[in-house]
Structure 1
Amino acid sequence: MSWSQFIAAQPLVEHAEASTAPALSHCDHLAVIRAHGEEAGHYLQGQLSCDLHDVDTGGHLTGMHLSLKGRGLVSVRTVRDGDDYLMLCPTGQSEAVIKSLMKYRLRAKVDFQVDEQAVIIGLTGQLPTTLPEPGQTGRNGQGLWLRYPNTDHALLISDKERAESVWTVLAQDRTATNANGWRQADIDAGEGMVYPGAEDLFLPQVLNYDVTAGVNFKKGCYTGQEVVARMHFKGKLKQRMQRIDYTADVELLPGEPLRNSNGKAAGEVVSSARTANGYSALVVLRRDTDGVLFKDDEPLNSTLGTLPYTLPWKD
């Protein structure tokens, strides 16, 4: 039986009954791009907002590739795999990621390709004691593990040949969920990405990448760096990504605008997921928001949620 046949036969649900419950997620909403070549690291260092030196020493970071005006065109979670770099991105953006990164390649000795054999599995709650330390990566017989820094979450990059046996082992005593389950995990972790529909909207620090090490202000030049640095050193952010929980039966799509109770623009959607009690979402909001939001004229019945880190608002 192939991996696709196996996973199609699994009784996947949208979410665990509680966000802290042990769960296993089929993350087919994410793709893996492999960057290889003797200049791969040097080239990516000049294209992504994060510092690959942290990746080279065993970490994994989500950084942006920016437009010239400093807004995220795509975002990727990057990890070292031998001499190569693996970049996790939304499945619908894999070709856009490659196209964006190839734009400045010229004669650099680096190539990019989607890893069609890669399988991404997410683990939530009661992580095995054998996994790497928070924020670090490690490989075992199941594949390459990426453990989140602030929450009880981890991603596993395996391959189609091993995926069925790996899934069977990990599924013991865990709720098996589809991609929605991992989108909820990322919301719980306060980990935002640029999904299709939200391209060229957000500065890295607006998605809190200055808190999660997704942007580095000392690493040197990269595309869009001047705008990002100017905001950091001389500007004052008036909006940041926050979490909301809401009960209206409305799916929020990336990039959609939201309004406050006065009908004024309040922010934009980063991502959303269905939960046992309605929906949760990561949304870029103005600092003074009360969390009462509307999509068009429809109330979301929303409240501000919490993130596992503190937002560094500047007075």
Structure 2
Amino acid sequence: MTEWTTALGGQRLDDERITFDTAEPARLAIESTVVSPLVHLGVLDVSGADAERFLQGQASAQMTLADGDFAPLTTFCTPKGRMLANAQLLRIAPGHFRMIMHRGLVESLAEHLRKFAAFYKAELEVRDDLALIGMIGHDAEALAEVRFDLLPPAVWHQAGDAETQLLTHPGPQPRLMACLPAEQAPALWERLLAQAEPVGNSVWRLQDIQAGLAWLTPAHRDALLPQMINWEALGGISFKKGCYTGQEVVARAHFRGQVKKRLVRAQLDGGLLPELGSDIVDQAEKVVGEVIAAELDAYDEAEILAVMSTKEDLGPLRVAGQRVKLLKLPYPLERLDPEQLAATGQ
């Protein structure tokens, strides 16, 4: 649990959630500007003379694209192509890379990667001394520019220096993430509150759902192919790089069209949040999918991301006793090469 949040005036519900007394936080993010401690995310650093070469053999990202400007999505897989974690990858300095992912997977990924890092001049460090703060809303970009003295970067790009990084993420409202030393976070938080309202990190997680962006959690570690969370449609897989762990299975699934499950976005007809891993069933009570993310929206209805069968007509669906209404994803389900994202800056 990150101690820097104790000075913020919020209530820690558990290791992954924090809340504030702010009324209707999800609606406020639509109508105004909000800030949130992103306590559900964590940071893993890899550094050393061989750090880039080491990660090139493990990550789905083409490491040369992580150039200190473009900060690509990536994933780490087992030899069978199942994801151990997915992350955003930053180059902090020559020979120094940073990965932002779900905090529940940082330690397990570090343990996994250390087995291979022993053969390289590369070290892994879990960065519990860093804070992640999200800014969402109409004036989020202006707020970030004023408080960090940085021009907000394009989506999936980075700005800043070795101490503080600013990242732009997709979503229904403009939103940015700041990564900075935890000791500086309380003072920065106070300055942000001069122009924004504090909200719990459920608002950021809701925006991830609405962006069709799934961050793997321990509930689905070593269970899903990257394509099952649409990772190639978000530019999270380079099909132009050489080998990496799991690459053969991931490439075969893509080129042979063997992905039988896909990420979908949906709204439920009630305010009950299903647990991660909850079954989605059809009219005959047959399991056709499972929930991998869930949050309440501005109307107190549950919105989810789920990995579902790719069969076209599944009929009426239910989860946790609630009707499932499928929603449109904000991106096409087709391959998006990170090389294209890096070149266009979009």
Scaled by the length of structure 1, the TM-score of the pair is 0.89
C-alpha distance in 1 between matches for 2:229 and 2:211:
12
Deviation for aligned residue 1:194? 1.2
Change (3 A) 1:133 1:235: closer
Distance change in 2, residues 1:141/1:178 (3 Å): farther
Q: How does 1:94-113 map to 2 (within 5 A)?
A: 94-113=106-125
The residue number in structure 1 matching 2:34 is 23
Give 2:78's aligned residue: 67
Post-superposition shift, 1:292? 4.2
Residues 266-314 of structure 1: CA distance to partner in whole angstroms, max 9, x if unpaired?
A: 112221112232211111122325684323xx4322211232211239x
1:109-168 deviation per Cα after TM superposition (whole angstroms, max 9, x unaligned)? 111111122000111122324311232110179921111256522211012222122222
Change (3 A) 1:167 1:199: same
- Where do 5+ consecutive residues of structure 1 fail to align? none
| 1:228/1:279 CA distance change after superposition, 3 Å | same
Q: Which of the two has greater helix per residue? A: 2
Q: How far apart are the structure 1 equivalents of 2:178 and 2:7?
A: 18
Task: Classify 1:141/1:237 alpha carbon distance in 2 versus 1 (closer, same or farther; 3 Å).
Answer: closer
Of 270, 280, 288, which residue of structure 2 is paired with 1:248? 270
Partners of 1:112 and 1:142 in 2: how far apart?
Answer: 18
**1:141-160 correspondence runs (5 A):** 143-149=164-170, 152-160=174-182
Runs of 5+ in structure 2 lacking a partner?
A: 12-19, 143-150, 336-346
Classify 1:19/1:140 alpha carbon distance in 2 versus 1 (closer, same or farther; 3 Å): same
In 2, Cα distance between the equivalents of 1:168 and 1:29?
21
- Contact 1:55–1:78 (CA<8 Å) still a contact in 2? yes
- Secondary structure (helix, strand or coil) at the match of 2:183 reads helix
Q: Deviations over 1:179-199 (max 9, x none)?
A: 212111211222112101111
Superposition map of 1:1-315 within 5 A = 3-9=4-10, 11=20, 13=22, 15-17=25-27, 20-21=30-31, 22-83=33-94, 84-126=96-138, 127-129=140-142, 130-139=151-160, 143-149=164-170, 152-276=174-298, 277-287=300-310, 288=312, 292-295=316-319, 298-312=320-334
Give, in whole Å, the separation in 2 of the partners of 1:234 and 1:141.
Answer: 42
Alpha carbons of structure 1 residues 15 and 242: separation in structure 2 relative to 1, 3 Å: farther
Distance 1:166 1:147 in 2: 18
Looking at structure 1, the residues matched to 303 and 128 of structure 2 have their Cα atoms a distance apart, in angstroms, of 31
Q: 1:205 to 1:12 in 2, by over 3 A?
A: farther
Give the letter for the 2:25 counterpart.
Answer: H
- Cα separation, partners in 2 of 1:90 and 1:25, compared to 1, 3 Å: same
Distance 1:140 1:172, change over 3 A: farther
Q: Distance in 2 between matches of 1:173 and 1:291?
A: 47
What's the CA shift for 1:7? 1.8
Checking the alignment, whether the CA contact within 8 Å between 1:124 and 1:185 is kept in structure 2 is: no
Higher mean displacement: 220-229 or 150-159 = 150-159
Number of positions where the alignment pairs a residue of Structure 1 with one of Structure 2? 310
CA RMSD of aligned residues (A): 2.4
SS at match of 1:3: helix
Give 3-state SS (helix, strand or coil) of 2:285's partner.
coil
